[in-house]
Chain A
Amino acid sequence: MNIKEIKSEFPIFKQKINGKPLIYLDSANSSQKPKSVINKTSSFYENDFSNVGRSVHSLAVKATNRFEETRDKVKNYINAKQREEIIFTKGATEAINLVASSFGDMYIKEGDEIIITELEHHSNYIPWHFIRQKNKAIIKFAEVNEKGEVEIDEIKKLINNKTKIIAITHLSNVTGAITPIKKIVDLAKTKNIPVLVDGCQAAPHFKLDMQELGCDFYAISCHKMYGPTGLGILYAKKKWLDILPPYQGGGGMIDEVTKNIVTFAPTPTKFEAGTLQTAQVVAFNESIKFIENLGINNISTYENMILEYGLEKLKKNNSISIIGDPKEKGSVISFTIKGIHPHDIATILDDDGVAIRAGHHCCQILHDKLGVPATARASIGIYNSKEDIDILCQAIDNCKKVFQI
């Protein structure tokens, strides 16, 4: 892969940060956008824009076609069985809230149990907390081991006849642990328990195949996939979408409306109330094209090489502790430096043009478990190179100099 060429497709890298080249190691937070995605957004507004799925004029037809083309693109990209299984949401957060709300209202009653894990981002905990409060349900947390991963046995021992759903991340945004989703789905199937996967961190980094994975729900964040903000995708098996009640009411999602009776459109329209993020949906097609042109398996192989290189280099530094050591790991390196708080690390690194994230990364449960209030996190995207890791390491040495360690 010619990373220099790939990086040149991202206009953001033309600028200097504090007089230094931008070293962007915060893609797990949000990835940068290639020119094709940016251009598509403006060209759509300039040439094809109107509201979709409502009017009959020529522009409405063009806009609707562009919009629905992305649905087909996503369906093929994640190998869903049907295009009706792809719902556009305002983000992965809304996708999970949709399931927690619609599924929770219908199936989770007092005393019923929801299994999540200690690895979860707040977006895969708080929506279930709402259901816990509203319906007097119980949330059980599958524990992480000392390597920062969740083993299938931890899930197995929590399952009982009150378990109504298992909601689990595909890739931890803190330890980088890849969870054994296929095994969990196979196990859950034997007990007829649906599985929701938070795929925010996995989707940009490895091949997704919904039919092979067999999960019931899969949430994707488009802005982490070199795509626009304000957009997420909920994949759900059609059998669920057919029975679950709508999440929000409004224009576009209805079938018939009278003063007494309201009926709803079939899926996916039932779950897409109001005018959606039209331009973002259209532009997201270009994000998938960008990934497809490089080949997702090539991206995985390349990013893993950078990850290994980074881990090896950082491990050599005695004052650095890497958070978690999972067997299957992807794309993120969380760490602490003895004597320097992660926020100070992030500020000092920024002075060298290095962008990382510091804090609890919306995973307070996990940080409590690990016994650290905050960590620093370097996360990898397709534009990162070994040189970026070298600069990160030099910037870390500068941190130690500033703090006289």
Chain B
Amino acid sequence: MELKELYQEIILDHGKNPKNKGQCDNFNRQAKGHNPLCGDKVHIYLKLNKDQEVDDISFEGEGCAISLASASILTEIIKGKNFNNSKKIIKNFLNMVKNESKIAINNLTKDQQTTIMSLSGVKQFPMRVKCATMAWHTLTSALEGKEKNE
């Protein structure tokens, strides 16, 4: 187990200064997630336009560096993506932190790939995988328009 792989610079930055925090304007989908075992919470807000694209996305939440960074990275990646693509990214992300070492998504920029890959270190820390996945499960609920607790 390598601690440095878990607490990479990108993660620490996102954890300390999360992007897209708060409620975005005119959100029309939202969902809350929480982990009853540790008390981490996340609330995702997003605005889906008539073309099924995520115009805006934000989150509120409290938790460890991993869960905050994961939520923050999620908002950066998903903003501008359409519904189907977002679902594909979620699936790929969940796969990455549980099984695969690499994420295979065509329409992410190199920067975005690096950012999302920074969360793959969590795989070596089974007790912390849920910290990284909670926001992504909650995003699924928000996209599908239902609330979800993990």
Q: Mark A residues whose CB is within 8 Å of B.
A: 18, 339-344, 347-348, 351, 358-360, 364, 367, 373-374, 402-404
Contact = CB atoms under 8 A, between A and B. Distances in A.
Interface of B: 1, 3, 6-7, 12, 16, 37-41, 62-66, 125, 127-128, 131
Contacts of A374: 38-39
A347 B39 contact: no
Nearest to A340: B65
Contacts of A339: 16
A340 B66 CA distance: 11
A342 B63 CA distance: 9
8 contacts: A18-B1, A341-B63, A343-B64, A348-B3, A360-B38, A373-B62, A403-B65, A404-B12
A343 B62 contact: no
Nearest 9 CB-CB pairings of A with B: A341-B64, A343-B64, A351-B3, A373-B39, A359-B38, A360-B39, A344-B64, A344-B65, A374-B39
A360 B35 CA distance: 11
Given A402-B7, A403-B12, A404-B12, A364 B63 contact: no
Contact of A347 (B12, B37, B40, B128): B128
Given A347-B128, A402-B3, A404-B12, A341 B65 contact: yes
Contacts of A358: 38
B69 to A, nearest CB: 10
Nearest to A343: B64
Given A359-B38, A367-B39, A351 B64 contact: no
Contacts of B3: 347-348, 351, 402
Nearest to A404: B12
A102 to B, nearest CB: 28
Contact of B128 (A343, A351, A403, A404): A343
A359 B130 CA distance: 14
Q: Which of B3, B12, B39 has the largest number of chain A CB atoms within 10 A?
A: B39
B6 to A, nearest CB: 7
A258 B1 CA distance: 62
Contacts of B125: 347
Nearest to A374: B39
A138 to B, nearest CB: 25
Contacts of B38: 343, 358-360, 374
Given A343-B38, A343-B66, 15 more contacts: A341-B64, A341-B65, A343-B40, A344-B7, A344-B66, A347-B3, A347-B125, A347-B127, A348-B7, A351-B1, A367-B39, A373-B39, A373-B40, A373-B41, A373-B63
Nearest to A358: B38
A33 B131 CA distance: 31
B62 A347 contact: no
A248 B39 CA distance: 33
A376 B51 CA distance: 46
A105 B21 CA distance: 49
Contacts of B127: 347
Contacts of B66: 343-344
Nearest to A352: B3
A263 to B, nearest CB: 42
Contacts of B64: 341-344
B37 A359 contact: yes
B88 to A, nearest CB: 29
Given A343-B131, A344-B65, A344-B66, A364 B12 contact: no
Contacts of B12: 403-404
Given A344-B64, A404-B12, A364 B39 contact: yes
Nearest to B6: A347
Contacts of B7: 344, 348, 402-403
A269 B30 CA distance: 54
Contacts of A373: 39-41, 62-63
A74 B16 CA distance: 51
Contacts of A343: 38, 40, 63-64, 66, 128, 131
A343 B63 CA distance: 8
Q: Which of B3, B41, B131 has the largest number of chain A CB atoms within 10 A?
A: B3
Contacts of A403: 7, 12, 65
A402 B131 CA distance: 18
A359 B7 CA distance: 19
Nearest to A402: B7
B120 to A, nearest CB: 16
A63 B9 CA distance: 59
A363 B39 CA distance: 11
A146 B12 CA distance: 33
A358 B128 CA distance: 12
Nearest to B7: A402
Contact of B39 (A18, A340, A348, A359): A359
Nearest to B63: A341
Q: Which of A343, A359, A403 has the largest number of chain B CB atoms within 10 A?
A: A343
